[in-house]
Amino acid sequence: MKQKLTSRKELLYLRIARNIEMQIQNEVLKVGDKLPSIRMICREHGVSMNTAQFAYYELERKALIESRPQSGYYVSRSIQKRLAIPTVSKPASRAPAKQISDVFTSVYNNASDKSLTLFSMGIPSEELLPIAKLRKSVAEASRELPAAGTMYESIQGNDKLRRQVARWSFSWKGNLTDDDIVITSGCMNALAYCIMSLAKAGDTIAVESPCFFGILQLAQSLGLKVLELPTHPKTGVELDALKKAVLNNKIKLCLLVSNFSNPLGSCMPEENKKEVVRMLEYYNIPLIEDDLYGDLYFGESRPTCCKSYDESGSVLWCSSVSKTLAPGYRVGWVAPGKYKEKLVQLKLFNTLSSPTIGGEVIASFLEKGRYESHLRKLRQALHTTYLQYVRVIGDYFPEEVKMSRPQGGLSLWLELPRQVNTLDLYNTALRHKISIAPGMMFTLHNQFNNCMRLSYGLAWNEKSENSLRLLGKLVKAAL
């Protein structure tokens, strides 16, 4: 009974906080407006003083309101500094390709340096992960699996995990079955299998621009040509540009990050997803969908995927838990649609079997509701940190800075004044124990030299706040 009452109290304070947050976002409550007193909230909502106080604590935590001694609560002035969003990318259609491996290697070599503030790494920090529960699940999996998990699994992967991934797909209208799923060693491994199943050296693939550097590196290593498409920082790939590319170029396949893309944080509207699927299906062009960030939404519900509208099996949907639960476990999956037989054969030739223990652990997390419980806490923490980034960037970075407005995921994209070279800024910041991801990593062409990606997967604390403030000062010094 006590637990039910606690859950009800938590639900009430979050509901009150969400209602006030919507009023702030819609500017019903404007910057500087005084909020109702705690007693007024109690009377209006019929709740206790503690519940009303928790609601205001939640809004303070998100930097939406501020407390003034002897006066009350007010809508925070930090949200007034609304920076412009970055411009729509315009990649040159015939620009010469370049190599990005040196910067890529340098940034990833920083990952193990505990002295650095890693704004460059697009994963949640270990403080945000359920380490103790994962450790316990590993022990359980070792006991329950035949031969302690030392034997090969079926080619498609752990049966329990495939069932749970299929069940989870109903949350975004995927309606998959366990037989639709193939388990892989992370999402990059899934993307690699998809590309290798569909394209050969010399073929052209179409991607968003900017694009995650891992995808660009993979395409280059396979000898593929990459067509970078204009992309809007809010709505993703420009449909007119995609249609023009389909008509004027011999595209073998298209690869898109439909939900909270890396690095822009864009999310394709539902109608755009439907149109992309219809268009590519009409021209018989496969779509590889990287849905790595779809579960990290800030809103009320998870966004759908392009796969949600796939009726012909032409969408190959890829995902994993690398950005949500356990980056190092390398557990991912793909629903390859009508290309399944070819992909399974490719997996057999390359790896034979998926790692056993990790798949069982993730399956258990999904089956017992631990994953869903963890995601609720993680989404809340990421949203709070994102809002703190917005506050600090508004206060300490130059006013000319343009900033993306992600509604989920882990990436924030900044467009700095033209005279700031973010590769130089990267080297300068490293000397101050700060690591960023320079914009030039996210393209094969000469663009985004004044841009950078920041990850808000870090735990928000004094160190991360001070580092972000210092980064803003370094940007100003570079002007």
User: What does the block give as tokens for 175?
Assistant: 């309606």
**All domains in the chain, ordered by first residue:** 2-80 (1.10.10.10), 101-128+374-477 (3.90.1150.10), 150-371 (3.40.640.10)
Do residues 337 and 364 lie in contact, with contact meaning Cβ atoms separated by under 8 Å? no
Do residues 4 and 10 lie in contact, with contact meaning Cβ atoms separated by under 8 Å? no
**Nearest 10 degrees: Cα torsion 36, 39, 43, 46:** 110
Average pLDDT, the chain: 91
Taking 90 as the threshold, does the pLDDT of residue 57 lie above it? no
User: Across the strands, what pairs with 67?
Assistant: 73
Could you please report the per-residue DSSP string of 225-236?
A: EEEEEEEETTTE
| Non-local CB neighbours of 256 within 8 Å, separated by 6+ positions | 207, 208, 236, 237, 268, 276, 287, 288, 289, 290, 306
User: Across the strands, what pairs with 205?
Assistant: 226, 253
Which amino acid does the sequence have at 59? L
Do residues 104 and 450 lie in contact, with contact meaning Cβ atoms separated by under 8 Å? no
Report the side by side order of strands in the sheet with 402-403. 402-403, 411-415, 451-455, 437-438
Mean pLDDT lowest for which of 58-67, 190-199, 247-256, 431-440? 58-67
Do residues 243 and 125 lie in contact, with contact meaning Cβ atoms separated by under 8 Å? no
Return d(Cα 249, Cα 206) in angstroms, integer.
10
Return d(Cα 146, Cα 144) in angstroms, integer.
7
Among 334, 302, 328, CA closest to 409: 302
Do residues 437 and 452 lie in contact, with contact meaning Cβ atoms separated by under 8 Å? yes
User: What does the block give as tokens for 26?
Assistant: 């819609």
pLDDT given at position 97 = 60
Taking 90 as the threshold, does the pLDDT of residue 70 lie above it? no
At 119-152, the pLDDT tens digits run 999 999 999 999 999 999 999 988 888 888 888 8
Per-residue pLDDT band at 93 (split at 50, 70, 90) = low
Say how many CA atoms lie within 13 Å of 167 toward its Cβ.
14
At 336-368, the pLDDT tens digits run 999 999 999 999 998 888 888 999 999 999 999
DSSP-based three-state secondary structure for 333:
strand
Taking 50 as the threshold, does the pLDDT of residue 8 lie above it? no
- Alpha helices for 159-267 (secondary structure H): 159-168, 187-198, 213-221, 239-248
Among 161, 188, 187, 189, CA closest to 176: 161
pLDDT given at position 101 = 67
Q: What is the mean pLDDT of residues 159-177?
A: 96
In the chain, the percentage of residues whose pLDDT exceeds 70 is: 95
Do residues 191 and 288 lie in contact, with contact meaning Cβ atoms separated by under 8 Å? yes
Say how many CA atoms lie within 13 Å of 378 toward its Cβ.
27
Q: What is the mean pLDDT of residues 255-283?
A: 96
Return d(Cα 82, Cα 395) in angstroms, integer.
11
Name the DSSP class of 151: S
User: Across the strands, what pairs with 403?
Assistant: 414
In the chain, the percentage of residues whose pLDDT exceeds 90 is: 70
Taking 60 as the threshold, does the pLDDT of residue 425 lie above it? yes
Taking 70 as the threshold, does the pLDDT of residue 80 lie above it? no
Taking 50 as the threshold, does the pLDDT of residue 113 lie above it? yes
Mean pLDDT lowest for which of 134-143, 250-259, 466-475? 134-143
pLDDT given at position 99 = 63
pLDDT given at position 427 = 95
Q: Checking DSSP bridges between strand 315-320 and strand 287-290, what pairing results, if any?
A: parallel
Mean pLDDT lowest for which of 82-96, 320-334, 434-448? 82-96
pLDDT given at position 24 = 86
Return d(Cα 292, Cα 46) in angstroms, integer.
41
pLDDT given at position 54 = 84
- pTM value? 0.86
Instruction: For 326-375, give the secondary structure using H, E and C.
Output: CHHHCCEEEECHHHHHHHHHHHHHHCCCCCHHHHHHHHHHHHCCHHHHHH
At 273-289, the pLDDT tens digits run 999 999 999 999 999 99
Q: What is the mean pLDDT of residues 252-275?
A: 96
Could you please report the per-residue DSSP string of 73-114?
A: EEE-GGGG--PPPPPPP---TTPPP---HHHHHHHHHGGG-T
Among 274, 270, 276, 209, CA closest to 239: 276
